[in-house]
Amino acid sequence: MAETAEDKFQKGLEGVMAAETALCYIDGQAHPTGILRYNGYTIEELCENSTFEEVCYLLWHNELPTKAQLEQFKAQLVANRDLPPEIIKLLASFPKDANPMDVLRSATSCLALFDPDNKDNSAAANERKAFRITARMSTLTTTWHAMRQGLEPVRHNPKHSMAADFMYRLLRKEPDPVEVKAFDVGLILQAEHGFNASTFAGRVTVSTLSDIYSGIVSGIGALKGPLHGGANENVVKMLLKIGEPSKVDSSIKEMLANKERIPGLGHRVYKTMDPRAAVLIKYSKQLGERAHDTKFYEMSTQIQTLMKQLKGFDPNVDFYSASVFYYLKIPTDTFTPVFAISRDAGWLGNFMEQYRDNRLLRPLEKYIGYQERPYMALEKR
């Protein structure tokens, strides 16, 4: 019998290929860790030798930049850091206890209104918008953090890289180069990951030929959820709640007995160790040792071992980015905005790719409701 659309139904679109991409290759089965390459370059090599800016260039142009191209690219990002004054006024009107992801989603959407290329969907205009969006999502996050504390936002230093700029303006002091490197690695590792939920949401949006701001806002909305980018915040909340290495075993077993999900563990694509977690674990250890406070690192490795024994799950990127960001003193509710600032690079690369060879993304649904029913007039219901 011929296969029907219903035979192909996959809950959660698991295993379904929705479009082609040249941006990233994932092997979620390889041992001892999975494989992740951006445009052919392993994430390990990129983390060792490149910066987040180089990775943005790679994801938008499918090639690593030359020295001259990189300088020009970085200058464009720096030149676009400032927010329009109307957006600063808008931020000032937000409630001070607003969730930073809600602020980022709402304010990024409003940035479109002040973008001179808002109505131009050409490739050249999209690249100009990509610089503004990337630079300003970072400024939005650091500015909001200052404003919610009643502090004056810090002016940027044009000599700072994206990573250093974020740390300098968020934490209001010149960042330590070792910490900047760890943060930059965090940005590189979260930059791109195929058709994850937020990238897919954004690609669906731009596949209607809507604009890239709309795609980014779709991505931010999808990333916020605890099954996706929101997991990193929940990892720290869990570590704080468990409190002590001696309580890891009983706490995790209790959570599992209560059918709770352990944040940062398991993955739809990796059925082995997420290679991003394998890179971040080293930074978690290094930063913990520098801070003379390895408790979170130790508790994390304990949870990793226990979850492997009990459920066979390995850590994903969120698991160790959580302790890395914690050691960098980033406020917990700002972890997911950091993920968004980083994944923005991949979202934009994906949107450019989608526009170049567009076909409306529109899957089918399996109908499980009533078949035809007799209509009943309102007064008879």
Ligand X SMILES: CC(C)(COP(=O)(O)OP(=O)(O)OC[C@H]1O[C@@H](n2cnc3c(N)ncnc32)[C@H](O)[C@@H]1OP(=O)(O)O)[C@@H](O)C(=O)NCCC(=O)NCCS
Instruction: Supply the residues annotated as catalytic.
Output: 267, 318
For residues 188-217, which are near ligand X according to CB under 6 A? none
| Nearest distance from C-beta of residue 244 to ligand X, angstroms | 21
Give the count of alpha carbons within 13 A of 182, CB side only: 27
CB-based closest residue to ligand X: 266
Q: Are 191 and 343 in contact (CB under 8 A)?
A: yes
Torsion of CA 323, 327, 329, 331, to 10 degrees: 10
**Minimum CB separation from ligand X for residue 104, in Å?**
18
Least separation in angstroms between residue 9's CB and ligand X is: 15
Nearest to ligand X of 216, 265 (CB atom) = 265
Tokens in use for 272? 């082995």
Tell me whether residue 186 or residue 263 sits nearer to ligand X (CB atom): 263
Residues 219-238 interacting with ligand X (rule: CB under 6 A): 227-228, 231
We find the least distance from the C-beta atom of residue 320 to ligand X, in angstroms, to be 11
CA 377 – CA 381 distance, rounded (Å)? 7
Residue 92 touching ligand X (CB under 6 A): no
Which of these segments, 59-67, 112-120, 132-140, 261-269, binds ligand X (CB under 6 A)?
Answer: 261-269
- Cβ proximity to ligand X: between 192 and 318 the closer is 318
Tokens at 358, concatenated: 């567009």
CB atoms within 10 A of CB 66: 10
Q: Which is nearer to ligand X, 199 or 207 (CB)?
A: 199
Rounded least distance, CB 64 to ligand X, Å? 26
> For the chain, what's the residue count?
381
Out of 181, 268, 290, 295, the only residue in the binding site for ligand X (CB under 6 A) is 268
- Number of residues interacting with ligand X: please give it, by CB under 6 A: 16
Q: How far apart are CA 227 and CA 348, in angstroms?
A: 22
One-letter amino acid at 277 equals A
Q: Is there a contact between 95 and 17 (Cβ–Cβ < 8 Å)?
A: no
Taking the complex as a whole, how short is the minimal distance between the CB of residue 257 and ligand X, in angstroms?
11
**Among 124-132, 136-144, 278-286, 316-324, the segment contacting ligand X (CB under 6 A):** 316-324
One of 262, 287, 324, 352 touching ligand X (CB under 6 A): 262
Closer CB to ligand X, residue 170 or residue 330?
330
Cβ(350)–Cβ(264) under 8 Å? no
Of residues 284 through 313, those in contact with ligand X by CB under 6 A are 313
Q: Provide the strand spans (E) within the chain.
A: 24-27, 35-38, 41-42
Among 186, 215, 219, 263, binds ligand X (CB under 6 A): 263
The answer to whether 20 and 34 are in contact (CB under 8 A) is no
- Per DSSP, the residues of 249-288 read HHHHHHHHHTT---TTB--SS-SSB-HHHHHHHHHHHHHH
Amino acid of residue 34:
G
Which of 128, 247, 261, 290 binds ligand X (CB under 6 A)? It is 261
Helices (H) and strands (E) in the chain, counts: 16, 3
Nearer residue to ligand X within complex by CB, 172 or 268: 268
- Number of Cβ atoms within 10 Å of the Cβ of 332: 16
Among 318, 335, 336, 346, binds ligand X (CB under 6 A): 318
Tell me the closest approach of the beta carbon of residue 260 to ligand X, in angstroms. Answer: 7
Q: Which is nearer to ligand X, 29 or 157 (CB)?
A: 29
**2, 12, 370, 371: which one binds ligand X (CB under 6 A):** 12
Q: Which of 169, 267, 285, 343 binds ligand X (CB under 6 A)?
A: 267
Amino acid present at 6: E
- Cβ-based nearer residue to ligand X, 54 or 314: 314
Beta-strand relationship, 35-38 and 41-42: antiparallel
Alpha-carbon 141 to chain mean position: 14
Q: Is the dihedral of CA 307, 332, 168, 70 positive or negative?
A: positive
> Which residues contribute to the site for ligand X (CB under 6 A)?
12, 227-228, 231, 261-268, 313, 316-318
